[in-house]
Chains A and B, each alone.
Chain A
Amino acid sequence: MTDLTDLTLAEARAGLETKSFTARELTQAHLDAMGEARALNAYVLETPEKALAMADASDARLAKGEGGPLEGLPIGVKDLFCTEGVRSTACSKILGEFAPRYESTVTANLWRAGAVMLGKINCDEFAMGSSNETSAFGPVVSPWRRDGSDAKLVPGGSSGGSAAAVSARIALAATATDTGGSIRQPAAFTGTVGIKPTYGRCSRWGIVAFASSLDQAGPIAKTVEDAAMMLQAMSGPDAKDTTCADIPVPDYRAAVSRGVKGLKIGIPKEYRVDGMPAEIESLWQQGQDWLKAAGAEMVEISLPHTKYALPAYYIVAPAEASSNLARYDGVRYGLRVPGRDIVDMYEKTRAEGFGREVKRRVMIGTYVLSAGYYDAYYLRAQKIRTLIKRDFEEAYSAGVDAILTPATPSAAFGIGEKGSGDPVEMYLNDIFTVTVNMAGLPGISVPAGFDAQGLPLGLQLIGRAFDEETLFATGRVIEEAAGRVTYPQPWWS
């Protein structure tokens, strides 16, 4: 029998159906691998008892010939999702031992589909970061290393733990969230598939809020098909989130094999940025060639406001974060540091509970929303957001079905290598992904090749609103052409 942790989600589901193994065996194999992989720091809380109980319940359903689409499949949950009775911290000290009395809609949907929870996964604090280095639980180490080097690399962020866990095979798939690239960038860094669906596709209820007009949940998985299975289960209308769309979820898994014949793929000239490594440029060209060979047509398009997306994001996201994070005041949950009066208590609690990056963003957000600066910063940024969205609308109304771009400006970098002096250096990681959040569109990152040092690189596809299906179909063509990724051997165990 092959190692159960090497299976894809789809293969594992088929194996359970044919009774080649049980959900308990599948879950135990992952729990054992997790125990060997603690050096990666991908999990911040392992829940083996819960996992085995859920697996046993799945086995009972499967024995009766029942079971949902994800029945018995063990997955990891980013610690940004509230899980009932299980510590949920957003990887911040300020939430302490917070154990929600409720379950997020997305995770509830997954459990209803039969999935098994292995534990809670590390991420950047409040999802603010691009390298998983801002977590209060310490950085996640990527399972990937450069050829001939044992330097520790970042798995990307903020969903770095999710990407590391999937590529280290200590979860069949994982939940993640994406505010500016936090699903797609770590997926690109680890040879995994990550999709941020259209804003409103997944309910945000029960997910710790960062920037409410940008946050979306999505999966990180080993293949495009696995990502489709995960997103299918995660999505859907929810009365508890007024921004969650009342639109039925299409059959994503069926869309995977649809092909790209006759599709028009836009190639935005503004994504050819100065100083882009030749490897990224040629990967992008390779992607175009693959899609052309599969019957798609490439069209050059222009998205003129692209360069303003990242600076506008660094006004909108911190502004919304400063409002959302006002709730962490030492009164209702988590950490409290006593003070001489209530304001002193608030200030000490927040100084002690928030990490450096979070404080920085809350302060920037406070500044751009403060009296006298609102129009110059926040209002202007929201106007620019309208222009960014208009760029995409014009491309789509001219007949483009999806847009192909690089996912990241480089492969993964070393832990401690970026952003220590200038925060903007780290922010530039999201240059290709952030436009998609600003416009509320769906975007997928698919592994497409490797750099000269053997590190994975990804391509991004951007779709029309609520058309994730085209992204799955197109992503699958790239995945097939690039060949299945071989994940690193466990040097960490």
Chain B
Amino acid sequence: MSVDTDTVRRIARLARIAVTEDDVPHLQGELNAILAFVEQLSEVNVEGVEPMTSVTPMRIKTREDGVTDGDKAADIVANAPATEDDFFMVPKVVE
């Protein structure tokens, strides 16, 4: 499979990465090189094979359902580019 320039623009949009018209041709070339490389996977017979969900056989850990952390709003917003009263500030989302 290979991608055309419209698909490159669509993927960029889904990935939330702005691309310029100049970027599109080389991105298309690079993405197609990778897709051509992974194409060989189609020759493997995967009939009846379970997809891997966990690389080591382990049970997911559980713990008591209690509050173990919190009360650190100032720490959480400390690195944000824009904050006000421990809130993250973003451009207007709803008109």
Contact = CB atoms under 8 A, between A and B. Distances in A.
B67 interface: no
B34 A424 contact: yes
A365 B40 CA distance: 18
Given A343-B16, A351-B17, A366-B15, A332 B30 contact: no
Nearest to B8: A363
Contacts of A343: 16
A92 to B, nearest CB: 13
Q: Which of B19, B49, B55 has the most CB of A within 10 A?
A: B55
Nearest to B82: A336
Contact of A347 (B11, B17, B31): B17
A300 B17 CA distance: 48
Contacts of A370: 11, 14
B30 A334 contact: no
A interface: dominant SS: helix
A239 to B, nearest CB: 7
B80 A389 contact: no
A333 B79 contact: yes
Interface in B27-44: 27, 30-31, 33-35, 37-42, 44
B88 A332 contact: yes
Contact of B91 (A101, A341, A440): A341
B95 to A, nearest CB: 10
Contacts of B56: 198-200, 245, 440, 465
A364 B41 contact: no
Interface of B: 1, 3, 7-8, 11-19, 27, 30-31, 33-35, 37-42, 44, 46, 49-56, 58, 60-61, 63, 72, 75-82, 88, 90-93
Interface of A: 98-102, 198-200, 213, 239, 242-243, 245-246, 305, 307-308, 311-312, 314-315, 322, 326, 329-336, 338-339, 341-348, 350-351, 354, 359-360, 362-367, 370, 376-377, 379-387, 389, 422-424, 427, 438-440, 465
